[in-house]
Structure 1
């Protein structure tokens, strides 16, 4: 059986790395692991990050042309189900429902969000299209319990909702970390939520007790690098900015990191948390929706700010036994719930019920 796969926000073969691209690739791998062929149906990006009606009008027109093109292709006759990843008000699926109607295919979504408040304002027509696409889905896999709340609230009759825990594109765990290296932060350096996390990191480091011995490596780069450099400058050579690293270099860092420290301001869930925990690296973050779906163990209360994270860091840095116990619990959970095999079995079970 061939699955038509589509990611309107960012195609799996997009040139710019991101969590969305990584997750899209992992989803394709998981479906292939079920024995199905996966066809990347379209690479058309349907994204309006600003909220301009004229941009949305142009993308509606592009989607109509792409739909007509797909329906005329021979491979469309081989599809048995259509799966769309990440339908939401800034990047609605304007293609999948129309193709499925024309070909009488089951329509499936993964990681969709509903946002009724966006039905008014600059994204109104895109928000309505995202709602219509979600309504058309026979099955929606949700990755976080926060998304599940609105999906359940607005689900049409007979729509199936299933939990698919976020997962890594690998079948086995890496070697466990030695836990004797510097702390590690991994995040793109850009304005908005990412920079807010870096500001919290700096504030937390300032709050750490004077007697704590610590070092921090930061992996990441981007347009806000100068701001991050300024935030970290007071700490001198205790903090190293390593730039953007490939997966192999990151794996090396996870293999000796003592703690992954990333507050996670408004993170959807964060694959970095899973990568670190797979290596048995304990996490210090804030207890935020999305983060709590993938981070094992109690995390810092948001209202408590930097002090709560500083207390958590000081405890783990000063107690190797606690650090190892937290890392092992995280590693065990990732091995059970957040690897490719578990995702493939979950997807396979639900797709068998539709096709």
Structure 2
């Protein structure tokens, strides 16, 4: 018997393109494994509508209705006892879990669901209504950030449990830390929108940096590669774009770096913050919702303070090796205590065990 049916409508854990969303989906499956719960990746249907297009939404709803009928039959054969969906919101609603779970008479659970009732009118109205209905149907919703928790608590139906599952790395121990004497490191997909806004802020900050001989390595790839290369061109060989790195290469990049510099414009929380801190890197980021859920308390500049405050933070760490090491050690201890696999698995699997008992 495979008790848990798992679904990630945003991006399946088997998706070929790396991202924080895929990393977190894979981490959830490892948490289930760690807790001794079998799982079945039941679908790779992506329900994302980025543009608010009614035709796209209707097509995805029809596809989901057909697939749901097949999954109900499959679930009966497999003996699923709980449905678990990761990351559903108004642009990417879970169109499969609620009808399948209802037909099978099993608990429906969500991780990182967000509510946006202002979207119940406008181009995403149909999807927003479906996402709200899915959240209403959940016996338990795990939130990853305090920002998400506010709306979940405000609109929770009677009896629904809202629980905190801290973002976590899919490992039991910390990786080896580096000497923290190399270049600065920025890690993020190279795409337009919020990610590009972070790169623009990085470029504006570097223009103010007075530390001699600073260097920055950027790890990431995507459709905004040329645009990012253009705004970094004036820095010459002090900024190096490494492209997409696999997991071992990424770990080597963390160990070779002195600190992580990623402002975090509109990040949900950012897996790179956890990975960098686990490797002992201090982080220079802005004090933003989501970001503050994965960083230890510290002097993180407010967004309104702009690039000058970020440049001052970088200058302080780059010119104070002892402070850089101390902040990195504190970040590493923070991840060890709160954001590794054992604690996350206990929270997730303990709750699931209660629901399927």
SS of 2:123's equivalent in the other structure is coil
CA–CA separation in structure 2 for the residues paired with 1:76 and 1:226: 50
Q: Which residue of 2 aligns with 1:303?
A: 304
Moved over 6 A (4+): none
SS of 1:342's equivalent in the other structure is helix
Q: Which residue of 1 aligns with 2:340?
A: 339
CA–CA separation in structure 1 for the residues paired with 2:29 and 2:46: 18
CA–CA separation in structure 2 for the residues paired with 1:70 and 1:298: 49
CA–CA separation in structure 1 for the residues paired with 2:132 and 2:299: 34
CA–CA separation in structure 2 for the residues paired with 1:236 and 1:23: 35
CA–CA separation in structure 2 for the residues paired with 1:170 and 1:203: 35
* Residues 261-282 of structure 1, C-alpha deviations (whole Å, 9 max, x = no match): 0011100010000000001100
Could you tell me which runs of 5 or more consecutive residues in structure 2 were left unpaired when the two chains were aligned: none
* Residues 260-319 of structure 1, C-alpha deviations (whole Å, 9 max, x = no match): 000111000100000000011000011111111112233111000001100100000111
SS of 2:142's equivalent in the other structure is strand
CA–CA separation in structure 1 for the residues paired with 2:226 and 2:102: 50
1:243 is aligned to 2:243: yes
Q: Which residue of 2 aligns with 1:121?
A: 122
Count of residues paired in the alignment? 354
Q: Which residue of 1 aligns with 2:285?
A: 285
**8 Å contact kept, 2:191–2:224:** yes
Q: Which residue of 1 aligns with 2:21?
A: 20
**8 Å contact kept, 1:70–1:76:** no
CA–CA separation in structure 2 for the residues paired with 1:127 and 1:298: 37
* Residues 59-82 of structure 1, C-alpha deviations (whole Å, 9 max, x = no match): 111111111011122665411111
SS of 2:92's equivalent in the other structure is coil
Q: Which residue of 1 aligns with 2:74?
A: 73
Q: Which residue of 1 aligns with 2:44?
A: 43
Could you tell me which runs of 5 or more consecutive residues in structure 1 were left unpaired when the two chains were aligned: none
Output the TM-score relative to the length of structure 2: 0.97
* Residues 180-230 of structure 1, C-alpha deviations (whole Å, 9 max, x = no match): 110000111111111110100010011112x44411111112111111111
1:165 is aligned to 2:161: no
SS of 2:113's equivalent in the other structure is coil
CA–CA separation in structure 2 for the residues paired with 1:95 and 1:76: 17
Note the 1:173-192 alignment, pairs <5 A.
Answer: 173-192=174-193
